[in-house]
Structure 1
Amino acid sequence: MEKNTAHLIEDCRSGKRTSQLALYKQYAQWLYVVCLRITGNQEEAEEAMQDSFLKIFSRLDQYHNDQCFEAWMHRIAIHTAIDYVRKQKPEWEEIPDNYAEPEPDGPDEEQIRYSVALVKEGMKKLAAGYRVILSLYLFEGYDMEEIASILNIQPPSVRSQYLRAKRKLLEIIGVN
């Protein structure tokens, strides 16, 4: 970890507001983007980011210097953003144990060429449940089992929701 960040963390632990502001300025935009990918809404992302910082500052005593500070904050921001999505009550579809995963029938992902802006707009149009699963899997790097644990649903449901979300996103952005 950078010495400046380590110094800011220690000052924040002792309650120095200027250090809290400096830490906020250093990481606010990054955590906002993380929250925005999960919530899909600018206002909720901003609130989730603000709440994340409140949690970060109040839990600094739980952070250990041998951990990666950015990863620790990232996890707090993701869980906070998911809490905001849960308030929206997305509909998670439980899939029975004997459910057979559908065969991928869409275009080959490597052949698809589209702009980042188009995908961002398409993500905003997805239902909250789909958006959360796609964001956690594609952008945040969680695997299906981790997502199932975070969202308290079964891994087959996560896989099914992911495939449906991917198809819906491809439909929205017009890839045939």
Structure 2
Amino acid sequence: METLSYQDVNHHVIDRCRSGDHRAQYELYKLYSKAMFNVCMRITNDYAEAQDVLQEAFVSAFKNLNTYKAEASFGSWLKRIVVNASLTAIRKRRAELVPMDERTVGEVADETSEDDTEWQVERVRRAIQQLPDGYRVVLSLYLLEGYDHAEIAEVLEITESTSKSQYSRAKKKLLEIMKAPQFAG
């Protein structure tokens, strides 16, 4: 069976990086750093830590560029490295997922309404930052990064039902934060 290959629009820059061209590395960094920094921020919730994680992720990507097989976009490959580096940083902080009873999956009703669509993006972003690490990571990976619960379970080394529980609890906690009087405005 033939392996399909993805032709990345930046393949010429990637090829130059593989040959040791430092200008090409900087060019690739400029192309992807802002988006990857946003991923780091959503997961680590700490500006300085996100900067460190981003730098470490790019160093790792450049060192391991020979493992990029163009089976998906370079951005997807790099994002996986960034997500893993961000999660490693969180683990180093000894952040633990909130323990959940497996029976709680599905017990929390989806409390969104049409009024929820009027929330401002900045308020939601601030509310997400207030979530405990475990909730924020699962919510970010699921909603913002597009991972499914099976992928989250694999990356975080938890069960799929724990991922679903964390996500459900994160949504509920997020709504509580958004509705709190001290959070208004």
Q: Deviation at 1:173?
A: 1.4
What is the RMSD computed on CA atoms of the aligned residues?
1.9
**Alpha carbons 1:90, 1:128 under 8 Å: kept:** yes
Q: 1:153: Cα distance to partner?
A: 0.9
CA shift digits 1:4-37 (9 cap, x unpaired): x211111111111111111111111111011111
The reply on whether 1:141 has 2:183 as its aligned counterpart is no
1:173: which partner in 2? 178
Aligned residues: 173
Verify the 8 A CA contact 2:97 2:133 in the aligned structure 1: no
Whether contact under 8 Å (1:95, 1:156) holds in the other structure is no
Alpha-carbon distance in structure 2 between the residues aligned to 1:24 and 1:15: 14
Task: Please say if 1:63 is aligned against 2:68.
Answer: yes
Cα separation, partners in 2 of 1:66 and 1:150, compared to 1, 3 Å: closer
Matched with 1:91 is 96
Deviation, 1:148, is 0.8
Do residues 48 (structure 1) and 36 (structure 2) align? no
Of 96, 104, 108 in structure 1, the residue corresponding to residue 108 of structure 2 is: 104
Q: Structure 1 length as normaliser, TM-score?
A: 0.90
Match of 2:80 in 1: 75
- 1:111 deviates by 4.2
Query: Which residue of structure 2 aligns with residue 8 of structure 1?
Result: 13
Tell me the secondary structure at the aligned position of residue 95 of structure 2.
coil
Q: After superposition, what is the alpha-carbon deviation per residue over 1:93-118, rounded to whole angstroms, capped at 9, x for unaligned?
A: 44455x24253345335541201100
CA distance in 2: counterparts of 1:40 and 1:136, whole angstroms: 13
Report whether the alignment pairs 1:121 with 2:122: no
TM-score by length of 2: 0.86
Q: Which residue of 2 aligns with 1:130?
A: 135
Give the corresponding residue for 1:159: 164
Structure 2 regions of 5+ residues with no counterpart?
A: 1-7
- 1:123-173 CA-to-partner distances (Å, cap 9, x unmatched) read 111111111000001001111111111101111211111111111111111
**Structure-2 separation of matches of 1:78 and 1:131:** 13
Which amino acid is the alignment partner of residue 140 of structure 2?
Answer: S
CA distance in 2, matches of 1:91, 1:109: 31
Give the letter for the 2:24 counterpart: S
